[in-house]
Amino acid sequence: MFNVAIIYAPQKSELKDLAEIIKDSFNSKNFKVISKSASQAGIPDIAAAEILILAASSSGSSPIHSDFSEILRALNGINLAGRLAGFCAVNTSDALEAFNAVFNDSEAVIGPELLLSARDAKACKAEIKNWIEELSGKYKEMTVKYGI
């Protein structure tokens, strides 16, 4: 069984619903998934995860919501080799670019990204499920390639 951590911000119902849909899209036979807001997540959540998903919506002038500040600070300098990172953003590709920049030196494999419009996350279920299937497939490739 592989561990997945979904970390999202802000703590609005829109992002919480999105995180739950992402969580429910994983096959529970193969994946153990936790979902936490960025303000409640910590390094132990990241360290335990083979797949790390960060989900955010825009936050004023900042590309990444301020709730992620402690997580991003902690990630600076952490080696995430052998892990897969997936990024999801609502309404802004700036968050995706910022997440990519933060993970640039982490040695994590960066998986496919998902950019959603402002519509209700439930309306995007099929799109989210396809994205999770892509991420899951990418991780399975990694396990074969690197013998994880």
Secondary structure (3-state) at 101: helix
On whether the CB atoms of residues 64 and 72 are closer than 8 A, the answer is yes
The strand order across the sheet containing 51-57 reads: 31-37, 2-9, 51-57, 84-90, 109-116
Q: What is the mean pLDDT of the chain?
A: 89
pLDDT in tens, 124-141: 888 999 999 999 999 999
pTM of the predicted protein model: 0.92
pLDDT at 99: 92
- Residue 63 is given by DSSP the state S
Name the maximum alpha-carbon separation found in the chain.
42
Residue carrying structure tokens 């299937």: 133
Q: Is the pLDDT at 31 greater than 80, yes or no?
A: yes
pLDDT in tens, 99-117: 999 898 899 999 999 988 7
Q: What percent of the chain has pLDDT over 70?
A: 96
One-letter amino acid for residue 59 of the chain: S
pLDDT at 117: 73
Q: Which residues pair with 109 in a beta bridge?
A: 84
Q: Is the pLDDT at 119 greater than 80, yes or no?
A: no
pLDDT in tens, 76-101: 878 999 999 999 998 888 889 999 99
Alpha carbon separation from 15 to 3, 68, 120, 122 (Å, rounded): 21, 13, 10, 11
Extract the runs of DSSP E, i.e. beta strands, from 21-108: 31-37, 51-57, 84-90
How far apart, in whole angstroms, are the C-alpha atoms of residue 121 and residue 74?
29
